[in-house]
């Protein structure tokens, strides 16, 4: 049996993957089976979140130990390089647009994804290579001291991020929940506004964006709160007035075009902003990040915020991880950066980081600051020790904390497979209250107080099965008679619709309007004015009483029920558990068995990509 047939008949390939291979065979019947199988696997790799297929590790892509007679990687590469369907371009050159596959080093790409990767690396290098004119840095010292009164301390990384923003166009600010990423950004922006004012320029045009509407709303809310804090300590009102007060999704920022995957803003029509700040960068997939970078003009500052320990994007790529790897750990200051820090402290180094040379010859000029201090958590939730153990993959420590019962607000339901069995009354009371809200805005606000999060979408403990049971509880046996929607139903969009500005992961609620007609309400730019749609006009969607952890990224809920499957699954990872539990603000319920939790914490959510390698090269523009 051929390799392609063996893969397809054993259920490893999707119909779409197999169809790609078959189409190549029809176009050229002489195409070797190894090339056809590689094409199908490259397609499968993208579906599983990878940028390409590693020829040396094809078995790992399947997620099983099935006995497959794989070609030797070196022989496979030779056969692919000789195929008319495979390009092997030199260096960073674009691949021939007439071939569907690209072989580069040990990775086989679908050509489109190789080009996304190549373009993104080039654009990030271009953005980072620009050095803004810092102007009179010393003149900013009084404001810097006001913004960061503790900046002379041993490790004030928030202040370091702001200092780096004065002379670098690409800045990465990373950290876990509550480490102050948005607070840091607000003060950083105030410093940039003051820098422009000192130079006699207009205040910089600033955009705040995130992958989802909920994440953008949370970011804008955090900025508004930070502005209030700065006003309370007497910061210049003119600086505060120039700070942004609202956020938007990346799709809206880039300008969606109905019925097209393209955007209005691109290299030939760049974004009209001087500073673009993007939160939840770990959620951004390879194609979207490539389109964002393409639309950022040379000279525009790009600030990416994110938690590197969260799950990578649902779609292909682990872009944030690759950029961070290229940027280094951020612990060493260049001579220029150390001088900037000295001037901001009135000539004192303040005991800050080491200085090693200049930026000359650095392959990637992006700067990273990882924030570590503090965790945002309600007084009733003591999450940090558990999150730290999960992030490190320390199963013994995590289980000890969970079983000890000493973490305030954290509840471990060991060997519980169904939250409806142990908390049915409380859960139903919450969901029923959504239908009784005074208006859609209040219903949407209530909806964010509680959510069930699952590792899986399918299966008895998956989001789909749970939603079906919850729907039955809320509507009664046979009450819906096949109706697709009902009053009080939570919804999540599962595909992008550029015409309606509804995107994968957006959540809304079905309610009857003043005429008794059922309508679907989704958050808008103004939280008090949700957008309304007829349910039948919505893009693909499903109930959202229970959601996968992936779908919940970028959101937070007062109470989270995190449900892991009864048996181990390849989708489980420490990143999934960490992402799920850090969605909780006030209370966390974790339902899992010891074996499943150990299985999850033993595994990383790894993605294959060549982006980090490209960024570490010195490119010429």
Q: How many angstroms separate the CA atoms of 549 and 547, rounded? A: 6
Task: Say what the pLDDT of residue 352 is.
Answer: 39
- pLDDT tier, 114 (very low <50, low <70, confident <90, very high otherwise): very high
Q: Would the pLDDT of 357 be above 80?
A: no
Q: What is the mean pLDDT of residues 292-307?
A: 94
Q: What is the mean pLDDT of residues 117-136?
A: 89
Q: Would the pLDDT of 356 be above 80?
A: no
pLDDT tens digit sequence for 88-104: 887 667 777 788 999 99
State the Cα angle at 479 between 477 and 485, rounded to 5°: 120
Q: Would the pLDDT of 279 be above 60?
A: yes
Q: How many angstroms separate the CA atoms of 132 and 444, rounded? A: 42
- pLDDT tier, 106 (very low <50, low <70, confident <90, very high otherwise): confident
Contact 266, 276 (CB under 8 A): no
Task: Say what the pLDDT of residue 88 is.
Answer: 86
- pLDDT tier, 621 (very low <50, low <70, confident <90, very high otherwise): very low
Q: Please name every residue paired with 518 in a beta bridge, in sequence order, or none if there are none.
A: 512
Task: Say what the pLDDT of residue 182 is.
Answer: 85
Helix ranges (DSSP H) in 265-412: 286-295, 319-327, 335-344, 384-392, 395-404
Contact 424, 531 (CB under 8 A): no
Q: What is the mean pLDDT of residues 287-303?
A: 95
Contact 305, 287 (CB under 8 A): no
Q: Would the pLDDT of 355 be above 50?
A: no
Contact 133, 301 (CB under 8 A): no
* Pair of tokens at residue 363: 């392959």
pLDDT tens digit sequence for 142-180: 888 888 887 654 458 888 888 888 888 999 999 888 788
Contact 589, 411 (CB under 8 A): yes
Ranges 250-264, 335-349, 381-395: which has the least confidence: 335-349
- pLDDT tier, 359 (very low <50, low <70, confident <90, very high otherwise): low
* Pair of tokens at residue 163: 């200092």
Task: Say what the pLDDT of residue 556 is.
Answer: 86
Q: How many angstroms separate the CA atoms of 364 and 355, rounded? A: 17
Average pLDDT of the chain to the nearest whole number: 86
- pLDDT tier, 478 (very low <50, low <70, confident <90, very high otherwise): low
Give percent of the chain above pLDDT 70: 92
* CB-facing half-sphere around the CA of 270: CA atoms within 13 A: 18
Give percent of the chain above pLDDT 90: 42
Contact 233, 302 (CB under 8 A): no
Q: Which residue has the higher pLDDT, 472 or 214?
A: 472
Q: How many angstroms separate the CA atoms of 108 and 34, rounded? A: 13
Q: Please name every residue paired with 131 in a beta bridge, in sequence order, or none if there are none.
A: none
* CB-facing half-sphere around the CA of 477: CA atoms within 13 A: 0
Task: Say what the pLDDT of residue 154 is.
Answer: 41
Q: Which residue has the higher pLDDT, 604 or 341?
A: 604
- pLDDT tier, 19 (very low <50, low <70, confident <90, very high otherwise): very high
Task: Say what the pLDDT of residue 354 is.
Answer: 38
Q: What is the mean pLDDT of residues 279-298?
A: 94
Task: Say what the pLDDT of residue 527 is.
Answer: 74
Q: Would the pLDDT of 297 be above 80?
A: yes
Query: Looking at the chain, how many residues does it have?
Result: 621
**Which of 95-99, 117-121, 180-184 is the most confident on average?**
117-121
Task: Say what the pLDDT of residue 571 is.
Answer: 84
Q: What is the pTM of this model?
A: 0.85
């Amino acid at each position: 049996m051929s390799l392609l047939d063996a893969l397809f008949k054993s259920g490893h390939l999707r119909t779409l993957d197999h169809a790609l291979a078959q189409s190549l065979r029809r176009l050229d019947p002489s195409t070797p089976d190894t090339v056809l199988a590689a094409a199908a696997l490259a397609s499968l790799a993208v579906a599983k979140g990878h940028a390409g297929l590693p020829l040396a590790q094809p078995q790992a892509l399947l997620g099983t130990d099935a006995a497959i007679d794989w070609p030797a990687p070196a022989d496979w590469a030779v056969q692919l390089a000789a195929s008319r369907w495979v390009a092997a371009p030199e260096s960073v050159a674009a691949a021939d647009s007439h071939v569907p596959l690209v072989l580069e080093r040990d990775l086989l790409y679908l050509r489109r994804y190789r080009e996304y990767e190549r373009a993104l690396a080039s654009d990030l290098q271009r953005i980072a290579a620009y050095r803004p004119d810092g102007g009179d840095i010393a003149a900013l010292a009084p404001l810097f001291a006001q913004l960061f009164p503790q900046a002379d301390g041993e490790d004030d990384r928030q202040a370091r991020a702001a200092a780096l923003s004065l002379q670098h166009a690409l800045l990465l600010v990373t950290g876990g929940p509550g480490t102050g990423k948005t607070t840091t950004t607000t003060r950083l922006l105030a410093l940039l506004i003051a820098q422009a004012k000192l130079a006699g320029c207009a205040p910089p045009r600033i955009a705040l964006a995130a992958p989802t509407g909920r994440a953008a709303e949370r970011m804008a809310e955090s900025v508004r709160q930070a502005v209030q804090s700065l006003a309370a300590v007497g910061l210049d009102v003119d600086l505060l007035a120039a700070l942004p007060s609202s956020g938007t999704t990346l799709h809206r920022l880039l300008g969606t075009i109905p019925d097209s995957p393209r955007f209005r803003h691109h290299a030939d029509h760049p974004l009209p902003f001087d500073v673009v700040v993007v939160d939840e960068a770990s959620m951004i997939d390879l194609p979207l990040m490539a389109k964002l970078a393409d639309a950022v003009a040379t000279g525009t500052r790009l600030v990416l915020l994110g938690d590197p320990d969260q799950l990578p994007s649902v779609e292909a790529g682990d872009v944030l991880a690759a950029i961070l790897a290229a940027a280094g750990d951020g612990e060493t200051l260049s001579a220029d950066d150390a001088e900037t820090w000295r001037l901001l402290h009135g000539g004192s180094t303040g005991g800050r980081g080491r200085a090693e040379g200049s930026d000359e010859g650095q392959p990637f000029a992006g700067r990273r600051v990882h924030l570590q201090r503090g965790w945002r958590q309600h007084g009733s939730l003591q999450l940090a020790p558990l999150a730290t153990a999960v992030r490190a993959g320390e199963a013994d420590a995590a289980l000890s904390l969970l079983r000890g019962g000493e973490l305030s607000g954290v509840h471990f339901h060991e060997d519980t497979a169904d939250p409806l069995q142990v908390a049915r009354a409380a859960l139903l009371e919450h969901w029923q209250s959504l239908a009784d809200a005074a208006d859609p805005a209040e219903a949407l606000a209530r909806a964010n107080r509680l959510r069930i999060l699952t590792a899986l979408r399918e299966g008895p403990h998956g989001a789909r099965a749970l939603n079906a049971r919850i729907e039955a509880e809320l509507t009664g046996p046979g009450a819906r008679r096949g109706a697709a929607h009902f009053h009080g139903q939570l919804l999540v969009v599962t595909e992008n619709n550029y015409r309606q500005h509804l995107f994968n992961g957006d959540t809304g609620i079905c309610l009857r309007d003043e005429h008794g007609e059922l309508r679907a309400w989704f958050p808008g730019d103004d939280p008090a004015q949700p957008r309304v749609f007829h349910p039948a006009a919505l893009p693909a969607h499903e109930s959202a009483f229970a959601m996968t952890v992936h779908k919940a990224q970028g959101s937070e809920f007062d109470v989270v029920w995190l449900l892991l499957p009864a048996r181990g699954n390849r989708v489980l990872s420490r990143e999934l558990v960490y992402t799920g539990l850090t969605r909780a603000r006030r209370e966390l319920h974790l339902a899992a068995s010891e074996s499943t939790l150990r299985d999850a914490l033993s595994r990383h959510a790894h993605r294959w990509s060549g982006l980090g390698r490209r960024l570490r090269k010195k490119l010429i523009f």
